[in-house]
Chain A
Amino acid sequence: EAQVTQNPRYLITVTGKKLTVTCSQNMNHEYMSWYRQDPGLGLRQIYYSMNVEVTDKGDVPEGYKVSRKEKRNFPLILESPSPNQTSLYFCASSVPDRKGYEQYFGPGTRLTVT
């Protein structure tokens, strides 16, 4: 089954404790992306990757890191989480055609930073 998986689905942590949210897709997609969803703000892009070893900032990259060492994986790293990073996070991947591409979303990771 074609899918995007994220782990963990739920995470409660404390300020300053490094964490990683994993994302994996089995569709051989070149493009992958991370979003955060906050009430009233919709989804905002954190980082994206056009291919292996190619990453770039989205609209809200501060406090986050990413890496793309393999095509299927795109982990999101919070080196020193803060309460304002409490949010619902989605990973997405996309087919490589030029226009009208569909992004496939993972089920989400709900992160609470206390």
Chain B
Amino acid sequence: GNSVTQMEGPVTLSEEAFLTINCTYTATGYPSLFWYVQYPGEGLQLLLKATKADDKGSNKGFEATYRKETTSFHLEKGSVQVSDSAVYFCAISSGSARQLTFGSGTQLTVLP
């Protein structure tokens, strides 16, 4: 079955620091890859996605590239803000059931 391994948290950074959250996956077939973000007290929101190899998803200054050769989809941001404090989930989907398989989540705290 599918699985997602995500960098353990929590991660604490100062404002304007560079962020990387690692994500690797195993999957049957050719999955689509996602990053979701969960702000305190809220549901998950799609942050970005990529559906084929070498695709780069981007949104709100965050980027992630679909690396099929290394089965990875690492999340990066060049300069984080306090408002980026949230839990970030890497997820993959494959097959007709549209089932999302999530990583365990990474708590990010950005200090002013």
Please list the residues of chain A having a beta carbon within 8 angstroms of any beta carbon in chain B: 4, 31, 33, 35, 40-45, 48, 50, 56, 58, 90, 92, 94, 99-103, 105-108
Q: Which of B17-43 contact A (CB under 8 A)?
A: 32, 36, 41-43
Known: A99-B32, A99-B51, A100-B32. A45 touches B44 (CB 8 A): no
B44 / chain A contacts, CB cutoff of 8 Å: 43, 90, 92, 103, 105
Please list the residues of chain B having a beta carbon within 8 angstroms of any beta carbon in chain A: 4, 6, 32, 36, 41-46, 49-51, 89, 93, 97-100, 102-105
A105 / chain B contacts, CB cutoff of 8 Å: 36, 43-45
Q: Which 5 A-B pairs have the closest CB atoms?
A: A105-B43, A100-B51, A42-B102, A43-B102, A105-B44
Secondary structure of the A side of the interface? strand
Give the distance in Å from the alpha carbon of A44 to the alpha carbon of B4 in the complex. 12
Of B49, B51, B89, the contact of A43 (CB 8 Å cutoff): B89
A48 engages B98 (CB within 8 Å) = yes
Known: A99-B51, A100-B49, A102-B49. A45 touches B99 (CB 8 A): yes
Give the distance in Å from the alpha carbon of A107 to the alpha carbon of B44 in the complex. 8
Q: 29 A-B contacts, Cβ less than 8 Å apart?
A: A4-B43, A33-B99, A35-B102, A41-B104, A42-B4, A42-B6, A42-B102, A42-B103, A43-B102, A45-B99, A48-B97, A50-B97, A56-B97, A90-B44, A92-B44, A99-B32, A99-B51, A100-B32, A100-B49, A100-B51, A101-B98, A102-B46, A103-B44, A103-B46, A103-B100, A105-B43, A105-B45, A107-B41, A107-B43
